[in-house]
Chain A
Amino acid sequence: MRLDDEEAATSCRLPISNSEIVKLAHGSGGKLSSSLIESVFLPLLGNDVLNKQDDAADIQIGDLKIAITTDSYVVSPIFFPGGDIGSLAVHGTVNDLTMRGAKPLFLAATFIIEEGFPIADLHRVADSFAQACRSSDVSLLAADTKVVGRGAADKIFVTTTGIGIIACDPVPASDRARAGDVIIVSGDLGLHGMAVMASREGLDLETQIRSDSAPLNKLVLPILQMGYIPRCMRDITRGGLATVLNEIAKSSSVGMLIEENAIPVDPQVSAVCELLGLDPLYVACEGRFVAIMDASCSDQFLATMKGFPQGAQARVIGRVVEEAPGRVVLKSTIGGRRILDKLAGDQLPRIC
Chain B
Amino acid sequence: MKYQAEFRDRQLAEQLSLQIKKAITRPWKIMEVCGGQTHTILQFGLEDLLPSELELLHGPGCPVCVTPVSLIDKAIEIAKTADVIFTSYGDMLRVPGSSCDLLQARALGADVRIVYSPLDAVELAKKYPSKRIVFFAVGFETTAPANAMSVHLADKLGLTNYFVLCSHVTVPPVMSSLLEQPDNIVQAFLGPGHVCSIMGVEEYREICQRYKVPIVISGFEPIDILEAILMALLQLERGECRLENQYARAVVTAGNLHAQQVMSEVFSLSERIWRGLGPIPESGYRLAEKYREFDAQNEFPEVISERAESCICISGEILRGLKKPPQCPAFAKECTPETPLGATMVSSEGTCANYYKFKNTQIN
Contact = CB atoms under 8 A, between A and B. Distances in A.
Interface of A: 1, 3, 7-8, 10-12, 14-19, 21, 23, 31-32, 255, 257, 261, 267, 270-271, 274, 321, 323-324, 327, 329-339, 341, 344
24 contacts: A10-B99, A11-B311, A15-B100, A15-B341, A16-B339, A18-B339, A19-B104, A31-B338, A32-B338, A257-B363, A274-B1, A323-B363, A324-B362, A327-B361, A331-B45, A332-B43, A333-B8, A333-B222, A334-B222, A336-B44, A336-B46, A338-B45, A339-B358, A341-B360
B83 interface: no
Interface in B240-290: none
The residue among A8, A15, A337 with the most chain B CB atoms within 10 A of its own CB is: A15
B44 A323 contact: no
A336 B308 contact: no
A244 B10 CA distance: 26
Contacts of B222: 332-334, 336
A157 B4 CA distance: 40
Contacts of B307: 7, 11
A334 B10 contact: yes
Nearest to B226: A334
Contacts of B45: 330-332, 334-338
B357 interface: yes
A15 B94 CA distance: 11
B98 interface: yes
Contacts of A12: 310-312, 334, 341
Interface of B is mostly: loop
Contacts, number: 122
Interface in B192-208: none
B58 to A, nearest CB: 15
B32 to A, nearest CB: 15
A12 B99 CA distance: 11
B53 interface: no
Contacts of B223: 334
Contacts of A332: 8, 43-45, 222
Contacts of A336: 44-49, 222
Nearest to B47: A336
B337 interface: yes
B101 A338 contact: no
Interface string B26-67: 000000000000000011111111000000000000000000
B309 to A, nearest CB: 7
B364 interface: yes
Given A10-B98, A12-B341, A270-B1, A334 B361 contact: no
Contact of A15 (B5, B10, B43, B340): B340
B120 interface: no
